[in-house]
Amino acid sequence: MLLTAIVGTNADFSYNRLLLQYMQKHFKGLANIRIVEIDTLPPFSEDTPADMAVWRFKKAIQLSDGVIFSTPEYDHSIPAALKSAIEWLSYKSEVLKHKPAMIVGTSYGPQASSRAQEHLRQILASPDCDAYTLSGNEMLIGNAAKVFVDGNVTDRRIQAELEEYFVNFVKFIDQTAEGDDAMSMHQPYLDDAYINFPTGRLSFREVQQIFSTIPFEIDLIDHNDKFSWFSNKPNREHVRSVREIGEGVEECHPPKALPIVMKIINSFKDGSQDSVSRPLMMHGHRVLIQYYALRDVDGSYLGTIEFTGSVEHILNFYEQGAWSDAATGASQTDGTTGASEHAETAPDETPEPKPKADSSDGTSGASEH
């Protein structure tokens, strides 16, 4: 379980930050808590475009199973810096929608940010946020300077309250979990149905497994510029989540990549291009990303496919001279047709690249099986 914990202040020193760090340590066995800071975000304004920091912040929330807010109290409400962060999350964005949320807070004084926490509950319940805040549980820690000693909480009563609340939150997430549940089955819904192609039929299960088996991953942006599907291949280069399905292109790409992506998509729409290739290094190996215009039989635009995979094994073939005797012409026909019925007509060619295939597979592709 991945949780994002938001430090509700931009202050250099914060007891609320200490509280989250304590929770991160204390609940390590129950959840993976990632702490995010809000001091790098620009102040919210309707007129300011979201930058990379905002994009990363929104992604962190979107990809987590739940959010923990630790809020100080400033003037009987939440700090402006936290309010601004929430405005970014809610403005033209649905990352908080139905997201399980837990509110905690601590203050230097005895009030323990109680009024700020009430405001925060109301804010998170507003339609533009629509988070699922766990009700009936509160964590109010007053006199913070006495409670946190070397970053630890030693007061048994506070520990027990926090543990009860956190366990309730974990249960709450399990109950409200949606989306990734369907994913965890790793199965298409109708596994005994068939699609009849002019060239044969495939079961839904076969379709699913073909996409999981071929060594390239596929993402589809539909004709409305919405991210509508990705192949469920193990060890993907681009890690995707079903939470991103349905997002607009502008939401799923970071602001700095967006102009390039839109240019490609627009060139596919107006028909000026059909494909674009981008070689690049990812996770320490050579990867090729190819974008293809997905067109109907009549040529009309259906969407854009992003076809991504490691090309290490191909390049290894090449570097080991797999095609070097192709110049003689002997294997050329084989290389271009490649169909299985030709294999037996040239039995002497196959043994040689085969061992290479195994060895290069061993270095790059093994983890995918």
Partner 1 sequence: MKFVAIVGTNAKRSYNRMLLHYMQNHFDQATITVVDIQGIPMFNENHPETDPEAVVELAAAIAEADGVIIGCPEYNHSVPSPLKSVIEWLSYRLHPFADKPVMIVGASTYPQGSSRAQLHLRQILDSPGANAQVFPGNEFLLGQANRAFDDEGNLKDSGTIDFLTQCFDGFLDFVAMHQQFKKGDA
Q: Does 115 bind partner 1 (CB under 8 A)?
A: yes
Contact status, residue 310 vs residue 364, Cβ threshold 8 Å: yes
Do the strands 217-222 and 301-310 form a parallel or antiparallel pair, or are they unpaired?
antiparallel
Count the site residues for ligand FMN by CB under 6 A. Answer: 20
**111 touches which of ligand FMN, partner 1, none (CB within 5 to 8 A by kind)?**
ligand FMN
- Which one of residues 35, 125, 242, 294 is an interface residue with partner 1 (CB under 8 A)? 125
Q: Which two tokens stand for residue 71?
A: 């809020």
User: Looking at 32, 126, 184, 300, which residue binds partner 1 (CB under 8 A)?
Assistant: 126
Single out the residue of 320, 308, 316, 309 nearest to residue 363, CA to CA: 316
Q: Where are the alpha helices (DSSP H) in the chain?
A: 15-26, 52-62, 80-90, 114-125, 144-147, 156-176, 180-184, 204-213, 249-252, 258-269, 312-319, 332-337, 340-343, 353-364
Q: How far is residue 85's CA from residue 82's CA, in Å, rounded to a whole number?
A: 5
Closer CB to ligand FMN, 87 or 225, in the complex: 87
Taking the C-alpha atoms of residue 50 and residue 42, their distance in angstroms, rounded to an integer, is: 8
Binding mask 72-101 for partner 1 (x = CB under 8 A): --xxxxxxxx-xx-xx--x-----------
Q: Is 21 in the site for ligand FMN (CB under 6 A)?
A: no
Q: Which of residues 226-245 bind partner 1 (CB under 8 A)?
A: none
Residues 6+ apart with CB under 8 A from 208: 187, 188, 191, 232
Per-residue x/- mask for partner 1, residues 45 to 64, rule CB under 8 A?
xxx-----------------
Long-range contacts of 41-48 (CB under 8 A, 24+ apart): 41/84, 41/85, 41/88, 43/84, 44/83, 44/84, 44/85, 44/87, 44/88, 44/91, 46/91
Minimum separation from the CB atom of position 18 to ligand FMN (A): 8
* Closer CB to partner 1, 9 or 310, in the complex: 9
Nearer to ligand FMN, 82 or 261 (CB): 82
For 71, phi and psi rounded to 5 degrees? -115, 130
Q: Report the alpha-carbon distance of residue 303 to residue 306 in Å, rounded.
A: 10
Report d(CA 106, CA 162) in Å as an integer: 12
Q: Is 12 in the site for ligand FMN (CB under 6 A)?
A: no
Smallest distance from partner 1 to CB 113, Å: 12
Residue in 4, 5, 6, 15 binding ligand FMN, rule: CB under 6 A: 15
Binder among 44, 55, 169, 268 for partner 1 (CB under 8 A): 44
Residue in the block written with tokens 């854009």: 304
Name the residue number minimizing CB distance to ligand FMN: 72
Q: Which is nearer to ligand FMN, 9 or 304 (CB)?
A: 9
Q: Per the structure block, which two tokens stand in for 152?
A: 């630890």
In the chain, DSSP finds a helix count (H) and a strand count (E) of 14, 15
Classify residue 255 by burial, with Cβ atoms within 10 Å: 0-12, 13-18, 19+: middle
Residue 107 or 231: which CB sits closer to ligand FMN? Answer: 107
Q: Which of 12, 192, 296, 341 binds partner 1 (CB under 8 A)?
A: 12
Site for ligand FMN in 308-327 (CB under 6 A): none
Tell me how far the alpha carbon of residue 190 is from its chain's centroid.
26
Asked if 108 interacts with ligand FMN (CB under 6 A), we say yes
CB of 127 to partner 1, least distance (A): 9
Which CB, 147 or 276, lies closer to ligand FMN?
Answer: 147
Site for ligand FMN in 38-97 (CB under 6 A): 46, 72-76, 87, 90-91
Q: For ligand FMN, give the closer residue by CB, 94 or 217.
A: 94
Which positions lie near ligand FMN, rule CB under 6 A? 9, 11, 14-16, 46, 72-76, 87, 90-91, 107-109, 111, 126, 128
